[in-house]
Amino acid sequence: MRCHVRTIGTAGARPSSFGNLWSDLRQGQGVLPANISGRWNQYHGLVTGPSPAAVSGSSRTVSPFAPADVLAPRIGAAIEAAFGAEYAGVDPLLRPSQFADLQANVALSLAKKVGAKPRDVAEKIVAALDVSDLASSVEISGPGFINLTLSPGWLSGAATSMAGDERLGVPRQERQIVPIDYSAPNVAKEMHAGHLRTTVVGDSLARTLEHLGHQVIRQNHIGDWGTPFGMLIEHLLDVGETSDEATLLEVDPNSFYQHAREKFDSDPAFADRARGRVVKLQAGDAPTLAVWNRLVGLSKVYFNRIYSALDVTLTDGDLAGESMYNDQLQAVCDELEDRGIAVISDGALCVFLPGYTGREGKPVPLIVRKSDGGYGYGTTDLATVKYRVQQLHANRILYVIGSPQSLHLNMVWDTARAAGWLPDDVEVVHVQIGNVLGSDRKMLRTRSGNPLRLMGLVDEANTVARKVIDEARPDLDEAIRAEIAPQIGVGAIKYADLSVAHDTEYVLDLERMVSLTGNTGPYLQYAAARIHSIFRNAGMAPDAATAPIVVAEAAERDLVLALLQFGSTVALVGDALEPHRLAGYLFELAQAFSSFYEKCPVLKADDAAVRDSRLALSALTLRVLTQGLELLGIRSPERM
Ligand code: ARG
């Protein structure tokens, strides 16, 4: 398990140019480029972890406008022309360069194989290289780096084509069926910050993969079954379904749960009834099931309130809770036992897998049936694998679940593989969710020490957002401020979850998250709103800014280079399953826009063609920001 503490919402600009960002996107090295991360960490007191695993499936990330994606095949062709067909498909090792836009490092790695000095290899490649339409200069430097500078003409053309592309350069990938298991709160329990984070990360992955052309099947694996339901059902029967106590399930489920628990602990007759009720529930007794159904229904009201407050795409149609698998659990166990994969140990049916050992090498089992005959969490999860493979025909299955459940999932998958339920061509991924910490660096709690209530967190964020917007924009209509405050508050919460790697721990700091400066959701929303205001001042709609984009100034060049990375960044998020790469990209884009706007007058440009080009560039930036935020699940208010 990799867990590293990072803080979020860090104020101030990062000492990084755009080149660094896309380099580490391509190298799959985490948003902080290796060469500056030390410095950056010093400035901000951050602790970063090792780089995430290198990104596979890079062929799926090709975007028609990303310079590296366009240059790579050209260099590949030159390598082939220079050294023969056996060198087809060699990675040109394109990286950002200090002295140019990109450098190809391939000559250094090829030298040994072709038996020549790297510089001579580079010369041969360059002699065969045709990039006259793309690059204004190709130079060999140092031991054999090929430095490439893109021509203003190509950049202008690429930006103009991107503006004419409704997908903004985001590739449409070969369609896969991708069930995503995320959110998964428990009935009659408060959702906690961990549930919030899987909900937000899972939802962003669902949006992104759908946008890339995949068929996403949302699987909200709610905890809606198990022994506590006897006590919960009895309590609901005692108080009556229309009582205030029952309404607690919709607003404060933990209290309902606690009251049931207190009765269970103090009233033996109630405890007896509760135990009897579990037996009835498991036997499928119709009246019991009816009460259970209403209990789950009341909880759904609570879940849906949170989902709607958070702008999450989950609906009742996506519920695929634990109970859904009840009728398959016996078959799961029988099949495992018949085939000798599971054995009885101390009365329980267990799977012992090679490689899973605890202290002193003692084997750790996956228990599929307890000694009392009950099924466990693992049994249900085995059924989820079977269902998703056999019924949903999944190509790739994502489990967006807390990091501590990694062992559990791996045991489930290995068991499923042993049983032949999980074929090699179906990819399963645990998108590990790290803990959210309070300012004391412990699991987030309220001041009274209870787990934080999610709705309370949302309300608090919206209150802080309202304060921020009241201070920043007292001139805005009261009605507008009231409308955008929740968009900012929720955007801030979601961005905090999405801007750090999903498997790291981070400290929740509301004031900082809601700030309009720094790497925050509101900063990005504000960048987009500012572009809207340019168009309001121009008296035109952004859509109407369709003039050709002409790259002349350095700030325009930087902005265009940033814009052209959008498609490959989104594709990378889909491959690596790391929304923080999109967040980091958008942050850098917003900064690139900010310097452009500072250095290049738009409405006051002397020349009409320059003004129109800059308006088109602003409109394109707005579309990318808005689309990018939407993939993160964050709204872009037009004014703020
Ligand atoms: N309900 C579980 C919890 O609150 C999460 C379930 C995750 N999904 C799964 N297939 N195990 O921890």
Residue % of the chain over a pLDDT of 90: 84
Site to probe by mutation for ligand 1, drawn from 180, 181, 187 as the one with most ligand atoms within 8 Å of Cβ, is 181
Site to probe by mutation for ligand 1, drawn from 180, 189, 201, 405 as the one with most ligand atoms within 8 Å of Cβ, is 405
3-state SS of 596-634?
HHHHCCCCCCCCHHHHHHHHHHHHHHHHHHHHHHHHHCC
Phi, psi of 539 (to 5 degrees): 70, 30
User: Is 31's pLDDT higher than 60?
Assistant: no
pLDDT tens-digit series, residues 336-347: 999 999 999 999
Residue 45 is given by DSSP the state T
Element containing residue 146 per DSSP (H, E): strand 145-150
Which residue puts its alpha carbon closest to atom 11 of ligand 1? 381
183 C-alpha vs ligand 1 centroid, how far in Å?
A: 8
Residues 6+ apart with CB under 8 A from 631: 204, 207, 208, 211, 570, 573, 579, 582
- CA-221 nearest atom, ligand 1: 8
Which residue puts its alpha carbon closest to atom 2 of ligand 1? 184
Phi, psi of 187 (to 5 degrees): -60, 140
Site to probe by mutation for ligand 1, drawn from 189, 201, 219, 221 as the one with most ligand atoms within 8 Å of Cβ, is 221
226 C-alpha vs ligand 1 centroid, how far in Å?
A: 13
pLDDT tens-digit series, residues 285-323: 999 999 999 999 999 999 999 999 999 999 999 999 999
Which residue puts its alpha carbon closest to atom 6 of ligand 1? 184
Structure tokens at 263: 């009765």
Cβ atoms < 10 Å from Cβ of 301: 12
The pLDDT mean for the chain works out to 90
User: Is 60's pLDDT higher than 60?
Assistant: no
401 C-alpha vs ligand 1 centroid, how far in Å?
A: 7
pLDDT number for residue 446: 65
391 C-alpha vs ligand 1 centroid, how far in Å?
A: 20
pLDDT tens-digit series, residues 524-540: 999 999 999 999 999 99
Nearest-CA neighbor of 578 among 224, 115, 276, 209? 209
381 C-alpha vs ligand 1 centroid, how far in Å?
A: 9
User: Is 459's pLDDT higher than 50?
Assistant: yes
Place of tokens 């910050």: 193
221 C-alpha vs ligand 1 centroid, how far in Å?
A: 6
Position with higher pLDDT, 61 vs 404: 404
266 C-alpha vs ligand 1 centroid, how far in Å?
A: 30
Full-model pTM: 0.89
Largest CA distance in the chain: 90
pLDDT number for residue 391: 98
Which residue puts its alpha carbon closest to atom 9 of ligand 1? 221
Let me know: does 30 contact 578? Beta carbons within 8 Å: no
User: Is 611's pLDDT higher than 80?
Assistant: yes
321 C-alpha vs ligand 1 centroid, how far in Å?
A: 9
pLDDT tens-digit series, residues 185-195: 999 999 988 89
pLDDT number for residue 7: 40
322 C-alpha vs ligand 1 centroid, how far in Å?
A: 9
Span 482-509, average pLDDT: 95
pLDDT number for residue 444: 76
Confidence of residue 33 (pLDDT cuts 50, 70, 90): very low
- Domains in the chain (CATH in brackets) are 67-163 (3.30.1360.70), 478-632 (1.10.730.10)
56 C-alpha vs ligand 1 centroid, how far in Å?
A: 27
Position with higher pLDDT, 261 vs 193: 261
User: Is 175's pLDDT higher than 80?
Assistant: yes
Which residue puts its alpha carbon closest to atom 5 of ligand 1? 184
Let me know: does 431 contact 577? Beta carbons within 8 Å: yes
343 C-alpha vs ligand 1 centroid, how far in Å?
A: 26
Residues 6+ apart with CB under 8 A from 415: 336, 341, 351, 353, 366, 368, 378, 382
Confidence of residue 54 (pLDDT cuts 50, 70, 90): very low
User: Is 16's pLDDT higher than 80?
Assistant: no
Q: Which residues contact ligand 1 via a Cβ below 6 A? A: 181, 184, 186, 221, 223, 381, 384, 399, 401
- CA-408 nearest atom, ligand 1: 11
- CA-195 nearest atom, ligand 1: 4
Angle between helix axes 579-599 and 193-211 (nearest 10 degrees) is: 70
Vertex 512: Cα angle to 506 and 513 (nearest 5): 70
Cβ atoms < 10 Å from Cβ of 45: 9
pLDDT number for residue 49: 27
Structure tokens at 237: 């029967």
Give the 3-state secondary structure of residue 472.
Answer: helix
Mean pLDDT lowest for which of 362-366, 375-379, 435-439, 554-558?
Answer: 435-439
222 C-alpha vs ligand 1 centroid, how far in Å?
A: 7
Let me know: does 169 contact 567? Beta carbons within 8 Å: yes
Which residue puts its alpha carbon closest to atom 4 of ligand 1? 185
Nearest-CA neighbor of 569 among 31, 158, 87? 31
Let me know: does 74 contact 60? Beta carbons within 8 Å: no
pLDDT number for residue 447: 63
- CA-409 nearest atom, ligand 1: 11
474 C-alpha vs ligand 1 centroid, how far in Å?
A: 44
Let me know: does 527 contact 593? Beta carbons within 8 Å: yes
Let me know: does 206 contact 216? Beta carbons within 8 Å: yes
pLDDT number for residue 449: 67
User: Is 389's pLDDT higher than 60?
Assistant: yes
Nearest-CA neighbor of 67 among 628, 556, 561, 587? 561
309 C-alpha vs ligand 1 centroid, how far in Å?
A: 22
Angle between helix axes 478-498 and 454-472 (nearest 10 degrees) is: 120
Mean pLDDT lowest for which of 32-41, 359-368, 407-416, 589-598?
Answer: 32-41
